[in-house]
Amino acid sequence: MVERAEFEGFVEARSSRLLRTAYLLTHDWGLAEDLLQTSLAKAWFAWPRFDTNPVAYVRRTMVTTYTSSWRRKWRAEVPDGELPDSGRPDETAARDDRAALWHSLGRLTPRQRAMLVLRFYEDLSEAQTANLLSCSIGTVKSTTSRALAQLRLDPGLLDYAPARPRRRP
């Protein structure tokens, strides 16, 4: 029991500094925590043999564990120019589109945003939107038109704008 208490005291006193050392080796906090845990587990089994300086043993264990882990990795991969087809649509592009649209809508005035949400998200007619907002149908048309024009010029949406068809002269 005395050995266990000594080991726990060692871990409490030194683990934060040892974790920084592990991070400097791995450049990843998750890997550093795993490396420190593995090294401390190895130190626990060797604890009764320590006469002096267990810190040096744990540091050395971290270095050898780390180097043996990257030595074991198979590094004979040959990169290929083509990635295999995943067969699924890219969902991140849709999320990027939605995020960009969300930020652009936030840059509109509250009235313009309300008009677009009611007209296009809620799919209300111009008359229903006018009735709901207590304004004329002409106001709904003009405000919606200005809001859409502003969205077309919004820098956050320029990459997402569809190509406009060319007009014939």
Each of the 169 residues of the chain gets a pLDDT tens digit; together they read 657 888 888 899 999 999 988 888 887 899 899 999 999 999 888 887 777 778 888 888 888 888 776 555 555 566 667 766 666 666 665 566 677 777 887 788 878 888 888 888 788 899 998 988 889 999 999 999 999 999 888 887 776 656 555 566 5
**Cα–Cα separations (whole angstroms), residue 11 to 7, 49, 59:** 6, 17, 13
Residue type, 125: S
Domains of the chain (ranges plus CATH)?
Answer: 2-70 (1.10.1740), 105-160 (1.10.10.10)
Is the distance from CB of 47 to CB of 3 less than 8 angstroms? yes
On whether the pTM is more than 0.85, the answer is: no
Give the model's pLDDT for residue 96. Answer: 66
Residue count (the chain): 169
Look at residues 36, 14, 40 and name the one whose alpha carbon lies nearest to residue 25: 36
Question: Residue 138: how many CA atoms within 13 Å on its side-chain side?
Answer: 0
Query: First and final CA of the chain: distance in angstroms?
Result: 93
Q: Is 162 helix (H, G, I), strand (E, B) or coil?
A: coil
Q: Compute the CA torsion angle 18, 20, 21, 26 (nearest 10 deg).
A: 120
What's residue 12's pLDDT? Answer: 92
